[in-house]
Amino acid sequence: MTSAPAHIELPDLALRVRRRGWRMSAQRRAVVDVFTGEHVHLTADEILLQARQDLPEISRATVYNTLADLVEMGELLAVSAGDGPKRYDPNVTRPHHHLMCTRCGELKDVVPDGLEALNLSAAELHGYRLVGVDITFRGLCADCGGTVHDA
């Protein structure tokens, strides 16, 4: 698995959807603006709360519809995080997997070494044509009692 070098600035979600010609209403902009920074993996309810800080009248339906549109466009990933609600990840420009705390649910993007060699044999594919791979590493974060070991 390869990733973009850290010094290359990748386009943010707002820029990517503008390049697609997506009409940016105030409601859509309020949702899109929530997705800034690294390791952003928010639930729809968290997105709604943050979007309401900029646009108090935004409805739950508008947030859910906007998220569905962005997932359908391939501009957000809908990540299943165990038994909890889906999380939305704007990091679709770099191949990556996830690291999740099983206690608090924190989710981080990771690009592990060696996974580019992960393959299924023809027998293991059972006739499927693969369209993607989602891997979630699970454990306890440092705040929840995980210990950090230096490699």
pLDDT tens sequence across 21-40: 999 899 999 999 998 877 78
CA-angle at 143, arms to 138 and 146, nearest 5°:
45
pLDDT in tens, 43-53: 999 999 999 99
Q: What SS3 class is residue 75?
A: coil
Taken in order 131, 14, 42, 4, the sign of the CA dihedral is positive
SS3 52: helix
Checking if the pLDDT of 151 tops 60, the result is no
Q: Mind listing the pLDDT tens digit for each residue in 37-94?
A: 777 899 999 999 999 999 999 999 999 999 999 999 999 989 887 777 889 998 887 7
In sequence order, what are the residues at sequence separation of 6 or more whose Cβ sits closer than 8 angstroms to the Cβ of residue 86? 43, 44, 78, 79, 80
Q: Which has the higher per-residue pLDDT, 116 or 4?
A: 116
pLDDT of residue 53: 95
User: If you search the block for the tokens 């770099």, which residue do you land on?
Assistant: 94
CA dihedral 62, 23, 85, 33 (to 10 degrees): -100
What does the domain layout of the chain look like in residue ranges? 13-143
* Predicted pLDDT of residue 149: 56
Q: Which two tokens stand for residue 109?
A: 């993007």
pLDDT at 148: 60
Per-residue pLDDT at 146: 67
The CATH number of the structural domain formed by 13-143 is 1.10.10.10
